Amino acid sequence: MSERTLRGKVAIVGVGETTYYKHSMSPDPEFVLAIKAILAACDDAGVDPTEIDSFASYANDRNDPSRISAALGCRELRVSNMQWGGGGGGASAAVGNAAAAIMSGQADIAVVYRALAQGQFQRFGRAAGAGTVSGDNALAHPYGIFVPAQRYALKIMRFMHEHGVRQEALRAIAMASYHHAQSNPRAIMYRRPLTEQMYDDSRWIAEPNHLFDCCQENDGAAALVLVSAERAKDFRHKPAYLLASAQGSDHRNAARGFNAPDFASSSFGPVAPHLWNMAKLAPQDVDVLQSYENFTGGVLMSMVEHGFFTGEEANDFCRLENFLTTGKLPLNTSGGNLAECYMHGLELQIEAVRQLRGQSTAQVAGAKVAGVIAGPMVTPVSTMVLGTEETL
């Protein structure tokens, strides 16, 4: 039996985004943002938008592929794929799902997209009003535990306890994102540097999460164009080949009432090994890493569960200098969710492509392998590795 793999079969040939806005500040409705990002990605690739035949998204994106396809005048609609699960855990999975559709002959030109206009719709970080609550939420909301910053604080606190991780390790992850945003004019936090003192003095949201450990909430949209590897060189830029994609979560992750056996984790325990197996690479082969910051503790646990370092090594490894473009593991080089834009993580997939093209505003010299970890601590989570042609 031939090996079942996505390695090298599909490439990302176009990336695009709208202007990124503070939450609720988009002048455009969410659907318009989605369309603008897709057109920007088509323009970047040199693809006629009417040739898009397939769409993949995640997190219950509200913009239906059928409507997008009709609005853009696409000649036909083939695959419409939605990755289950809330949060940004599906961002790399959406790329993997689109790639699987292409590889299996169900799609030719696929777009992965995500759009958010939180003024038009509800915000993530704020709880709804009174009334009643039942099921799993009845075991949390009456105790004042509503939002991800609180729920995931419980995971991070336990992980830090088990491995002796100090607050400074989380701080370094926040500092890395803000540092890189200072060279990225697209970033919401461009020209708004963060100092260690500012981090230390910032208010707690839910311990161990300071304000600067928590992602922004933003308006905007982002999109990527995928085609089969055979066609990848017909487009405007150097292709970024998908070397591996993996999604899922650990054993009984969604056990109710905070009873997941491996609760103090980023959910990548069994997922990351699938990634490295498909990529035929190891963590030390990664030149640059984009790792979804919902909360800095999630980034730290993700890196541990992907094998970049152990929990016990976290205090030593998580220093700003290691995360810079010249460091051991350049991290979140566009500014990420914390400081570029919380585009539900899809700005990270775009940044990985730009790194492999040599177009980043914080370029890692000669980057050939780029990792993108999506939405730690939720379920399902997802992760992927991209590479340049020489990695095939």
Partner 1 sequence: MTYLPKGLPEPVTEADQLDKPYWDGTRAGKLMVQRCKSCHGFQWGPEWICHSCRSWDLEWVEVKGRGKIWTWTRCWHPVHPALKERGPYIAVLVELPEAGNIRMLGNLLGDAAQSVTIGAEVEAVFEPHDDAATPYTLVQWRTV
25 binds partner 1 (CB under 8 A): no
20 carries an active-site annotation: no
CB of 338 to partner 1, least distance (A): 17
155 binds partner 1 (CB under 8 A): yes
192 binds partner 1 (CB under 8 A): no
292 carries an active-site annotation: yes
How far apart, in whole angstroms, are the C-alpha atoms of residue 226 and residue 55? 10
How far apart, in whole angstroms, are the C-alpha atoms of residue 329 and residue 51? 38
Beta strand pairing call for 288-291 and 204-206: unpaired
Contact (CB, 8 A) for 225 and 41: yes
252 binds partner 1 (CB under 8 A): yes
262 binds partner 1 (CB under 8 A): no
Contact (CB, 8 A) for 61 and 112: no
The DSSP secondary-structure symbol of 109 reads S
CB of 285 to partner 1, least distance (A): 34
135 binds partner 1 (CB under 8 A): yes
- Closest by CA position to 46, among listed 11, 13, 75, 12: 13
* Sign of the torsion formed by the C-alpha atoms of 54, 56, 60 and 62: negative
48 binds partner 1 (CB under 8 A): no
C-alpha 342 chain-centroid distance: 9
- Closest by CA position to 39, among listed 66, 16, 62: 16
Q: Which residue's structure tokens are 């590889």? A: 103
CB of 217 to partner 1, least distance (A): 12
CB of 156 to partner 1, least distance (A): 9
Q: Between 131 and 185, name the residue whose CB sits nearer to partner 1.
A: 131
Catalytic member of 58, 113, 178, 342: 342
CB of 174 to partner 1, least distance (A): 17
Q: Between 2 and 132, name the residue whose CB sits nearer to partner 1.
A: 132
Please give the single-letter amino acid code of residue 390: E
Residue from the set 60, 66, 104, 137 that interacts with partner 1 by CB under 8 A: 137
86 binds partner 1 (CB under 8 A): no
Contact (CB, 8 A) for 338 and 332: yes
Residue from the set 34, 52, 111, 205 that interacts with partner 1 by CB under 8 A: 205
Computed on alpha carbons and rounded to an integer, the radius of gyration of the chain in Å comes to 20
Size of the site for partner 1 (CB under 8 A): 45
Beta-bridged to residue 222, according to DSSP, are 17, 114
Q: Between 262 and 389, name the residue whose CB sits nearer to partner 1.
A: 262
Quick one: which segment of 50-58, 82-90, 201-209, 223-231 binds partner 1 (CB under 8 A)? 201-209
Residue from the set 73, 144, 185, 366 that interacts with partner 1 by CB under 8 A: 144
Active site residues: 292, 342
